[in-house]
Amino acid sequence: MCGINGIIRIQDKQQAAESLARMNMCVAHRGPDDSGEYADDFVALGHRRLSIIDLSASGHQPMFSQDQSVVLIFNGEIYNFPELKKQLADYPFKTDTDTEVIIAAYLKWGIACIEKLDGMFAIALYDRQQGKVYLVRDRLGVKPVYYYVSPRGEIFFSSEVRGVIAGAGIKPKLNTASVSDYFTFQTVTGQATLADGIKMLEAGSIASISRDAFDIKPYWKLSYATDESIGYDEAVKTTRELVFSAVSKRMMADVPLGAFLSGGIDSSAVVAAMAESGYKPNTFNVNFAEGKFSEAAYARMVAKRFHTNHTEINLKPEYFLNLLPTAVRALDHPSIDGLNTYVVSRATKEAGISVALSGVGGDEWFAGYPVFHRMYHDKLKRFRMMPKVLRQSAAGLAGAVARNESWSKKLELLSSDLRFSDLHLAERKLFTASQIQRLLKQVNAPDNRKHPDIQTISDLSIAEWETYLMPVLLRDTDQMGMAHSLEIREPFLDYKLVEYLLSLPASYKFGEKPKQLLVSAMGDLLPDEIVSRPKMGFVLPYEVWMKNELKPYVKEGLNTLKHHSFFNEEGIADLEAQYFEGRRSIKWNMIWSMAVLGHWINNNGVQ
Strand order in the sheet with 43-49: 34-39, 43-49, 2-8, 155-158, 146-149, 199-200
361-375 tens-digit pLDDT: 999 999 999 999 988
| Structure confidence at residue 574 (pLDDT) | 92
- CA pair distance 275, 262, nearest whole angstrom: 16
Q: What is the pLDDT of residue 448?
A: 47
Strand 119-127 and strand 70-78: the pairing is antiparallel
Angle at alpha carbon of residue 569, lines to 565 and 572, rounded to 5°: 125
pLDDT of residue 297: 87
CA distance 482 to 546: 26
Residue 445's pLDDT is what?
A: 57
Cα angle value 506/298/337 (rounded, 5°): 70
Question: 232-367+457-540 sits in which CATH class?
Answer: alpha beta
Note the pLDDT of residue 287.
81
Report the chain (607 residues): mean pLDDT per 10 consecutive residues: 92 93 92 90 92 75 95 96 96 95 98 98 97 98 97 96 94 91 90 95 97 96 94 98 97 89 93 93 81 76 94 82 87 86 89 93 95 86 66 59 57 69 83 88 64 90 95 94 94 98 97 92 91 66 82 93 91 92 85 94 88
Predicted confidence at residue 584, as pLDDT, reads 78
CA distance 193 to 240: 37
Q: What is the pTM of this model?
A: 0.92
Q: Give the Cβ contact number of residue 254 at 10 Å.
A: 14
Q: Are 339 and 312 in contact (CB under 8 A)?
A: no
Indicate if 26 belongs to the active site. no
Helix axes 265-276 and 296-306, enclosed angle (nearest 10): 10
Please report, for the chain, the start and end positions of each structural domain, with discontinuous segments joined by +: 2-218, 232-367+457-540, 542-607
* Catalytic residue from among 2, 71, 105, 299: 2
> Is 2-218 CATH 3.90.110.10?
no
- Cα separation, 580 vs 436, in Å, equals 19
pLDDT in tens, 294-335: 678 899 999 999 999 999 888 777 887 888 889 889 999 998
